[in-house]
């Protein structure tokens, strides 16, 4: 391996106001991919910071509040006095319009793909008049203050979808250009920062393996480390980066809580070997299943899983360290932190390895600002096989989250495990699996059926495939009628499966997993 390079980041020219969105990190990521560094401040922090500092462009994120809520984030007034462009996304646009005396109205929510008709604006340079965009909002702008005009309207509803002021400084859109499901979004952001705000690219585009290695070496410090290892792309890639630097001062730990898929332990072993790390598998299934079975609430299950996970990791780290200074490595990604409510937006669901303390031991999350597709790219650059770089994710608490609404039992887990393995085989054979970013096979409860003239109180199996790059927004996959019939027949052969259904819901409004 070549000497890691310590990368110094130039002064960012773009300030992002965090109004409480799930997608703020994606704005940072889009800008990073365009070669621009940026930084995020809460509105009150920005107000203070801008008193003594300047930037070239300010972007206001979306947010979960209505401008009429008592605790709605405020627009930092100082941005109106600055000569630099302000561009509001969703809430970031609504708050500007509300502040300047326009009208924002409740009602007519949209959480879906939409088309907008754009008009002449530097923001849409190089793009067609009709653009597919992603909408996720409850309130809408219905009246513009003087000096503003609509630069985009919704093709379906005619609602205002983009605005600009004649001063050329203030603009905004109701949709989310920063998400994967707005295909022209990157062009819009590039137009904004490079043509409107005249920022010059100041960092390497996207992510570099060298920078990740350099950052790892600079931050790891401790004499030895243990890494939580699920065999997925995130932990295998991190293990490989860590192994290059730490060698046998690193140990990978897998907890088998009885929550894994068929064949998973063998795959975990293979991937540990590929990454070159020594692996220790701990069977905690008895304790885990008994503890998880105490509740059917998804957040309570996650909390129980996290508590046991944290305790075992702390014990293992202390044992491996044997008095040396140790750090716990976690391959947490940006969406895990965002959805756990750690970055300013609402908590959607907690992730098992976010917010743990490990008894005060130090921990490092080197991929904490990366998205899944960025980690896949690192895996390819590290020469890891496709079974690692393309591997669809599986949540930490695994099948515990795929027994939905009923008590988790060994029986329910084994039915889900069987159904998932058979579904995966069929989809792989038909090549549909290639187009699926994550396959979710869960039970949604019990249902009475009849098999061989006898009643069976069996399980309802839900099959769900999603397509996505970064897992922040996903498109539900519609299986063909023929595929649905095939899976219904096959899964119905299990003595305890009495219903099978398909769930191609998008995220939002759904999420990838059911829980
Ligand atoms: P959702 O269901 O939130 O999932 O749309 C997004 C991605 O995150 C995975 N996921 C988890 N991963 N611990 C994890 O390590 C968790 O608690 C957890 N919950 C969801 C999920 O499988 C998907 O890839």
Q: CA 200, CA 193: separation in Å to the nearest integer?
A: 8
CB 115 within 8 Å of CB 130: yes
pLDDT in tens, the chain (515 residues): 445 555 555 688 999 999 999 999 999 999 999 999 999 999 999 999 999 999 999 999 999 999 999 999 999 999 999 999 999 999 999 999 999 999 999 877 888 889 999 999 999 999 999 999 999 888 999 999 999 999 999 998 899 999 999 999 999 999 999 999 999 999 999 999 999 999 999 998 988 899 999 999 999 989 999 999 999 999 999 999 999 999 999 999 999 999 999 999 999 999 999 999 999 999 999 999 999 999 999 999 999 999 999 999 999 999 999 999 999 999 999 999 999 999 888 999 999 989 999 999 999 999 999 999 999 999 999 999 999 999 999 999 999 999 999 999 999 999 999 999 999 999 999 989 999 999 999 999 999 999 999 999 999 999 999 999 999 999 999 999 999 999 999 999 999 999 999 999 999 999 999 99
Q: CA 7, CA 213: separation in Å to the nearest integer?
A: 10
Per DSSP, the three-state class of 209 is: helix
Task: Indicate if ligand 1 lies below 6 Å from the C-beta of 512.
Answer: yes
Q: Which residues contact 262 (CB under 8 A, 6 or more apart)?
A: 417, 418, 420, 421
Query: Which residue from 5, 7, 62 is spatially nearest to 32, judged by alpha carbons?
Result: 7
Angle, CA 25 vertex, CA 24 and CA 30 arms, to 5°: 100
pTM of this structure: 0.90
Query: Which residue from 336, 357, 356 is spatially nearest to 347, judged by alpha carbons?
Result: 336
- Range(s) of the chain covered by CATH 3.40.50.880: 14-196
Q: Span 14-196: which CATH code?
A: 3.40.50.880
For ligand 1, the distance from its centroid to the CA atom of residue 339, given in whole angstroms, is: 9
Best probe residue, ligand 1, of 513, 514, 515 (max atoms within 8 Å of C-beta): 513
Q: β-strands 86-89, 57-60: how paired? A: parallel
- Range(s) of the chain covered by CATH 3.30.300.10: 409-502
Q: Span 209-389: which CATH code?
A: 3.40.50.620
Q: What is the residue with the minimal CA distance to atom 12 of ligand 1? A: 395
Structure tokens at 170: 């203030």
Task: Give the phi and the psi of residue 513 in degrees, each rounded to 5.
Answer: -85, 165
Q: CA 319, CA 322: separation in Å to the nearest integer?
A: 5
Q: Would you state the torsion angle of the CA atoms of residues 510, 512, 514, 515, taken in this order, to the nearest 10 degrees? A: -100
Structure tokens at 125: 């340079």
Task: Indicate if ligand 1 lies below 6 Å from the C-beta of 494.
Answer: no
| DSSP assignment of 427-450 | HHHTTGGGG-SEEEEEEEEEEEEE
Alpha-carbon distances of 161 from 44, 73, 103, 158, 226, rounded to whole Å = 27, 21, 14, 8, 49
For ligand 1, the distance from its centroid to the CA atom of residue 511, given in whole angstroms, is: 9
End-to-end CA distance of the chain: 41
- Range(s) of the chain covered by CATH 3.40.50.620: 209-389
So which residues are the catalytic ones? Answer: 90, 176, 178
Neighbouring-strand partners of residue 110: 137
User: Considering the domain 409-502, what is its CATH architecture?
Assistant: 2-Layer Sandwich (3.30)
Half-sphere CA count of 334, side-chain side, radius 13 A: 19
**Burial class of 400 by CB neighbour count within 10 A (0 to 12, 13 to 18, 19+):** buried
CB burial readout 189-201, b (16+ within 10 A) else e: bbbbbbebbebee
For ligand 1, the distance from its centroid to the CA atom of residue 350, given in whole angstroms, is: 9
Q: Which residues contact 41 (CB under 8 A, 6 or more apart)?
A: 15, 16, 17, 18, 49
């Amino acid at each position: 391996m070549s000497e890691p390079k310590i990368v110094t980041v130039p002064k960012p020219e773009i300030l992002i106001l965090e109004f409480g969105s799930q997608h703020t990190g994606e704005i940072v990521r889009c800008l990073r991919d365009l070669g621009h560094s940026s930084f995020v401040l809460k509105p009150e922090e920005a107000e203070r910071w801008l008193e003594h500092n300047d930037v070239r462009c300010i972007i206001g994120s979306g947010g979960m509040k209505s401008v009429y809520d008592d605790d709605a984030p405020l627009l930092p007034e100082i941005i109106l006095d600055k000569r630099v462009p302000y561009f509001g996304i969703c809430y970031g646009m609504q708050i500007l319009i509300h502040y300047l005396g326009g009208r924002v109205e409740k009602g007519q929510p949209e959480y879906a793909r939409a088309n907008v008709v754009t008009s002449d604006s530097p923001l849409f340079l190089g793009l067609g008049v009709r653009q597919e965009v992603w909408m996720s909002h409850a309130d809408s702008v219905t009246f513009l203050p003087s000096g503003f005009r609509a630069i985009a309207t919704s093709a379906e509803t005619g609602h205002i979808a983009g605005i600009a002021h004649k001063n050329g400084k203030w603009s905004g859109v109701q949709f989310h250009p920063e998400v994967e499901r707005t295909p022209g979004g990157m062009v819009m952001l590039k137009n904004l920062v490079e043509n409107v705000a005249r920022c010059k690219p100041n960092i390497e585009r996207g992510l570099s393996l060298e920078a990740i290695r350099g950052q790892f070496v600079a931050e790891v410090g401790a004499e030895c480390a243990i890494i939580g290892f699920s065999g997925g792309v995130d932990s295998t890639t991190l293990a490989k980066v860590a192994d290059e630097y730490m060698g046998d001062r690193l140990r990978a730990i897998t907890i088998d809580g009885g929550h894994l898929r068929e064949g998973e332990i063998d795959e975990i072993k293979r991937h540990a070997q590929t990454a070159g790390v020594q692996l220790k598998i701990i069977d905690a299934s008895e304790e885990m299943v008994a503890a998880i079975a105490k509740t059917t609430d998804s957040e309570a299950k996650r909390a129980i899983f996290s508590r046991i996970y944290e305790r075992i990791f702390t014990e293992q780290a202390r044992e491996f360290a044997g008095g040396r200074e140790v750090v716990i490595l976690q391959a947490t990604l940006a969406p895990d932190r965002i959805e756990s409510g750690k970055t300013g937006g609402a908590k959607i669901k907690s992730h098992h390895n976010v917010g743990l303390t490990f008894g005060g031991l130090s921990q490092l999350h080197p991929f904490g600002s990366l998205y899944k597709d960025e980690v896949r790219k690192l895996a390819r650059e590290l020469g890891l096989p496709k079974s690692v770089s393309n591997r669809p994710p599986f949540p930490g608490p695994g099948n515990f989250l795929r027994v939905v609404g009923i008590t988790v039992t060994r029986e329910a887990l084994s039915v889900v495990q069987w159904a998932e393995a058979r579904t995966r085989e069929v989809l792989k054979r038909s090549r549909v699996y290639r187009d699926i970013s994550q396959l979710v096979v869960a039970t949604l409860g019990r249902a009475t059926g009849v098999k061989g003239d006898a009643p069976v109180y069996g399980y309802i199996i839900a099959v769900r495939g999603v397509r996505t790059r970064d897992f922040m927004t996903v498109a539900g996959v519609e299986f063909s009628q023929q595929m649905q019939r095939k899976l219904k027949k096959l899964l119905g052969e299990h003595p305890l499966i009495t219903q099978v259904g398909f769930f191609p819901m998008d995220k939002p409004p759904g999420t990838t997993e059911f829980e």
